[in-house]
Amino acid sequence: MTAPMPQAQASQDKGSFLSEAWKIFRSHGMKILPLFLVFILIESGATYYRETAPIFRQELPVTHQCDKSADRFLCRKEHKDEIKKEHELAIKKIADHSGPYLFLLLVPLFSNLFLSYWALHHYLERTDKIGPQSWRQFGRFFWTSFKKNVKPILWNLIPIFGPIMYVRSIIRYTLAPLLAIAGKKDPLKKSWDLTEGHVWRIFGAYSVYALSFWVCFLVVLLMITSVASHNGSGTADLLKALAKNYALVSGLFVLLIWVWSALPVGIYRVLLNLRQTTEK
């Protein structure tokens, strides 16, 4: 078990959320990588099958060439009746098999929720004393995560400043699921109190993480574009191919959870040590 950060170091590194998160991820992240690789295969397989399986896709005779047209938007306007028919038949095809389609749609959602809980518990267990994993603990995590995202929605009803307060509330509640796993009572209130005065620092840390993910995603996208261009595929063909390849995005999102989950634990450790230092 990792020893708590010394108080002197906590006071010096009170804003180093990213460095603390990186330290935690570097020390303990590789231990759960095999589990995430398994879930990448599961989610990518379910997503790929959902997007390409014949039972969910209506094969129609080609009645237009809009995908290869130079002015694709004008072409779609001229052939709107044929395209509308294609969409209606595609929706009917999915509706006829709504059960399997809904199941394949929910697989990534629930697996990502489970992975988030697993990763947070793993990182927190290495830096703090918490109880073993249990369904009751997962239930607390799930319910707190639900309240964390639903409670701030009311701010959106207020014009202009509503969205700003919504983002602020999301940031103030960012530690609530983690505190629920740690067994703290009223995790939403404790998260709100613990993050007081650090909203912009937390926002900056999450922004750096998000920007890093999008850079990696764009690099992969450019690699696919380069390969498609080398093979002579047009832009429309490339977009059509990407639309059927959500499995790539699903796999990247699983990796994002793997890395991302270390950040709230790092923020929690820095803020907790800072508060203990201040109180003493």
- As a whole number of angstroms, the distance between CA 12 and CA 185 comes to 30
**Span 98-121, average pLDDT:** 85
- Radius of gyration from C-alpha coordinates of the chain: 23
234 vs 241, which has greater pLDDT?
241
Indicate if the pLDDT at residue 7 is higher than 50: no
**Averaged pLDDT score across all residues of the chain:** 77
What is the pLDDT at residue 81?
66
Q: Nearest to residue 24, comparing CAs of 115, 119, 117, 114?
A: 119
What is the pLDDT at residue 12?
41
- As a whole number of angstroms, the distance between CA 238 and CA 240 comes to 5
Residue 88 resides in a domain: no
What is the pLDDT at residue 268?
92
Residue 50 resides in a domain: no
Residue 158 structure tokens = 């207020």
Residue 208 resides in a domain: yes
What is the pLDDT at residue 193?
93
pLDDT band at 278 (very low <50, low <70, confident <90, very high): confident
Percentage of the chain lying above the pLDDT 70 cut: 67
- As a whole number of angstroms, the distance between CA 265 and CA 6 comes to 17
Question: How crowded is the C-beta side of 145, counted as CA atoms within 13 Å?
Answer: 16
Indicate if the pLDDT at residue 238 is higher than 70: no
Per residue in 30-58, pLDDT (tens digit) is 999 999 999 988 888 887 777 677 666 65
Residue 94 resides in a domain: no
pLDDT band at 273 (very low <50, low <70, confident <90, very high): confident
User: Which range (4-8, 137-141, 273-277) has the least confidence?
Assistant: 4-8
Angle at 210 between CA 276 and CA 12, to 5 degrees: 25
pLDDT band at 251 (very low <50, low <70, confident <90, very high): confident
Q: Give CA separation, 131 vs 189, 229, 280, in Å.
A: 21, 53, 27
DSSP at 133: P
Per residue in 180-227, pLDDT (tens digit) is 998 888 999 999 999 998 999 999 999 988 888 888 777 776 766 665
- As a whole number of angstroms, the distance between CA 152 and CA 212 comes to 26
Q: Give CA separation, 166 vs 124, 184, 193, 217, in Å.
A: 27, 24, 17, 27
- As a whole number of angstroms, the distance between CA 70 and CA 51 comes to 27
Q: How many domains does the chain have?
A: 1
229 vs 131, which has greater pLDDT?
131
Residue 161 resides in a domain: yes
**Residue-range definition of the domain harbouring residue 125:** 7-44+107-279
- As a whole number of angstroms, the distance between CA 114 and CA 36 comes to 11
What is the pLDDT at residue 171?
92
Per residue in 134-169, pLDDT (tens digit) is 888 899 999 999 998 888 887 767 777 777 888 888
Helix, coil or strand: residue 30: helix
Residue 196 resides in a domain: yes
- As a whole number of angstroms, the distance between CA 148 and CA 80 comes to 43
Indicate if the pLDDT at residue 65 is higher than 70: no
Residue 80 resides in a domain: no
Q: What are phi and psi of 233, to 5 degrees?
A: -80, 140
Residue 85 resides in a domain: no
What is the pLDDT at residue 210?
85
pTM value?
Answer: 0.74
